[in-house]
Structure 1
Amino acid sequence: MTTWLAVAAIALAGLSVVLFTLAVRRLLTRQAEVTATMLRRYDDRLASFAQTLNDALTSFQSARPPAAPQLEDDPEPMVRALELARERTSADGAIALVTAGHGTPIVATVGLSESETNHIARMGFPDYRGARAIEVAFAGDLVAPEGEEPVRAGLVMPLLGEDEPQSLVGVLTRDRGRRFSEEDVDELQGLVQAARPPISRALNLREADVVPELDLLTNLLDRQSFSAVLEREILRARLAHHPLSLLVVDVDRLTWLNARIGILAADGVLLELAKRLRGVVHRLDYAFRLGGGRFAVVRPGSEGGDARQLFEALRAQLAENPIGDAGIVSVTGGITELLPQDDVESFASRADAALAEAKAARRGSVGVTGGGDRPSRVNGTLQIASAPEGIVLDG
């Protein structure tokens, strides 16, 4: 009996060990499964968090406003601002109009035809009545660039501040169904705020305009006015991206003429020559007497070829109509066209150099430098108003 009890105890002990071992193994397996499950869940959550973070960063980058345009050092801030305005609002064209209340108003456009530019400029400045911007519509009967639809609608707002001269900037579309949104207004307003300081400084509208003095003999603008007017016109040409040419004319053998007919009679020749010069220049040209028998004409909106035609017209006048005792008076000319790197001194010096080369080659001829012998460009992108009736300003 005792033996059977001992055997049963041993068997029970062995079974307990087996059951304990199985229990421990099962527990360890369960813990491994739990650990693996936790690790999988952790990986899934980490991946989900990474994706959420990436989506948030992408959304933030796409939603944040574009970087401020770098216009401070741009030589043509108005033109650059129009390019950016068209790009940021997905428009087909852009226009800026600024007037200082005196002088020639500046009209700058990108992507518009001359007909469209003139039509929009004639509209003048709208009454915003406190609105940030105004949407305008067009009949669609304007002459558009070849192969394109005419402008259909536009969004305009003031370009300069309230205390500045009247101005506007606008973006335009050729799409019949396009309507400008609040986002477009925000984009345009943000750009205007960034562009306003460099444009105001470049226009220099707060300073008084140049007041030219007249030459006592010829009643043309005098030498003291030449640099100031030339500097102003270089600035305007660069702001509006239009050409500028300079013609310098010198009377041939003036010293010999003084000795032959006398100083007073020679002064009469200069006076008559000035009258004939006024007769051939355009009404927007500036004619100067630089001293002695030297004259100059600054031609806004004109290239070297236009200045050459002016010189030829003056030379023909003198050849066909002798001047008193002096007879036929011969003149030699020098022409140059504004280059991107020019200042007043280099621009004028190049015209003088062209004049000197012409005199050395043959009196009565004209020398051209600085691109003046290129074919005339089509002025359909940016322009200056050519006459008071060309652009009517309301308000």
Structure 2
Amino acid sequence: MDYENMDKKILIKILRHKDDILKRLCLEKEKLNYYASTDAMTGVLNRRSGLKLLDKELNLSKINDRDIVVCFVDIDRLKIINDTLGHGEGDKLLINTSKILKESIRKTDFVIRMGGDEFLVVFPGTTMKEVNKIWYRICVKIEEINKNSDKYSLSLSYGFYEYKKEGKSEMTVSDLIKKADFEMYKKKLNKKEGFDDKCINNINK
């Protein structure tokens, strides 16, 4: 009996098995990291991991002297939809909104679910002029969806804030969010007061 060849075969099997185990462990680790960093319902970044990434991007903007734009987004009338059509329909609205946002932005941009019906979209290393072009695509998709919907119209209130380094080196992530949130609130207030606020009408292409 050739014990030497047998030992080699056994060793190869052991090494292959070990390699398979390592691959499975790596995949499991990737899954855990994904679930730990994303919102379970929408698949966008959750608040904790998203704000951590935003803090990193803001610091890079300060170091590299580049702009960064944040947009605070609020889904209009989500509570009414939940109350009248059910939470299942409300969940669909959240999922569809996040899908529109994710599919419209660039690879370098990211979406954070802040909680409930609120999202934050981050555009690193860009200016408001470029963001307007991206947001126009979002507005077009919303209008297309609304043309084919007989239940309700998808409507977003949103506010932008563009960070520029000049004189703002002490600005924090919290400051960025507050300023974008304030701009969003003004837009939502205009809607409540009856002003026409169609998405495309408010974008400079």
Q: Shared topology, TM-score over 0.5?
A: yes
Decide which moves more: 314-323 or 326-335.
314-323
Give the Cα separation in 2 of the matches to 1:291 and 1:318.
21
* Contact 1:246-1:296 within 8 A present in 2 as well: yes
- Offset of residue 325 of structure 1: 6.0
Q: Secondary structure at the match of 2:121?
A: strand
Q: Which residue of 1 aligns with 2:180?
A: 351
- Offset of residue 227 of structure 1: 2.0
Q: Does 1:333 align with 2:158?
A: yes
2:118 maps to a residue whose letter is R
Match 1:273 to one of 86, 97, 106: 97
Give the Cα separation in 2 of the matches to 1:325 and 1:274.
21
1:304 maps to a residue whose letter is M
Give the Cα separation in 2 of the matches to 1:337 and 1:365.
22
Give the Cα separation in 1 of the matches to 2:91 and 2:157.
18
Give the Cα separation in 1 of the matches to 2:159 and 2:138.
13
Q: Secondary structure at the match of 1:249?
A: strand
Q: What aligned pairs does 1:291-302 form with structure 2 within 5 A after superposition?
A: 291-302=115-126
Which protein has the larger Cα radius of gyration, Structure 1 or Structure 2?
A: 1
Give the Cα separation in 1 of the matches to 2:102 and 2:110.
9
Match 1:239 to one of 63, 82, 86: 63
- Offset of residue 324 of structure 1: 5.5
1:358 maps to a residue whose letter is K
- Offset of residue 308 of structure 1: 3.0
Give the Cα separation in 2 of the matches to 1:237 and 1:326.
43
Aligned length: 158
Which deviations, in whole Å up to 9, do the C-alpha atoms of 1:60-108 show, x marking residues without a partner?
A: xxxxxxxxxxxxxxxxxxxxxxxxxxxxxxxxxxxxxxxxxxxxxxxxx
Match 2:73 to one of 236, 246, 249: 249
Q: Which residue of 1 aligns with 2:189?
A: 360
* Contact 1:304-1:337 within 8 A present in 2 as well: yes
Give the Cα separation in 1 of the matches to 2:117 and 2:68.
23
**Closer/same/farther in 2, CA of residues 262 and 310 from structure 1, 3 Å limit:** same
**Closer/same/farther in 2, CA of residues 293 and 218 from structure 1, 3 Å limit:** same
Give the Cα separation in 2 of the matches to 1:306 and 1:249.
18
Aligned Cα root-mean-square deviation (Å) = 2.3
Length-normalised TM-score, structure 2 = 0.70
Give the Cα separation in 2 of the matches to 1:362 and 1:344.
27
Q: Which residue of 1 aligns with 2:6?
A: none
Give the Cα separation in 2 of the matches to 1:332 and 1:226.
20
Higher helix share: 2
- Offset of residue 312 of structure 1: 2.7
**Closer/same/farther in 2, CA of residues 293 and 310 from structure 1, 3 Å limit:** farther
Decide which moves more: 279-288 or 325-334.
325-334
1:235 maps to a residue whose letter is N
- Offset of residue 286 of structure 1: 1.1
Give the Cα separation in 2 of the matches to 1:228 and 1:314.
25
Q: Which residue of 2 aligns with 1:224?
A: 48
Q: What aligned pairs does 1:31-110 form with structure 2 within 5 A after superposition?
A: none
- Offset of residue 365 of structure 1: 5.7
Q: Secondary structure at the match of 1:321?
A: helix
1:307 maps to a residue whose letter is V
Q: Secondary structure at the match of 1:335?
A: strand
* Contact 1:285-1:297 within 8 A present in 2 as well: yes
Give the Cα separation in 1 of the matches to 2:86 and 2:52.
33
2:65 maps to a residue whose letter is H
Percent identity between the two aligned chains: 23
**Closer/same/farther in 2, CA of residues 269 and 349 from structure 1, 3 Å limit:** same
**Closer/same/farther in 2, CA of residues 294 and 304 from structure 1, 3 Å limit:** same
- Offset of residue 263 of structure 1: 0.6
Deviating runs (4+, > 6 A) in structure 1? none
Q: Does 1:305 align with 2:117?
A: no
* Contact 1:333-1:365 within 8 A present in 2 as well: no
- Offset of residue 317 of structure 1: 0.7
Which deviations, in whole Å up to 9, do the C-alpha atoms of 1:312-362 show, x marking residues without a partner?
A: 321221111137664420111100011424111111110000101111123
2:156 maps to a residue whose letter is V
Structure with higher RCO (Cα < 8 A, 6+ apart): 2
* Structure 2: runs of 5 or more not aligned: 1-32
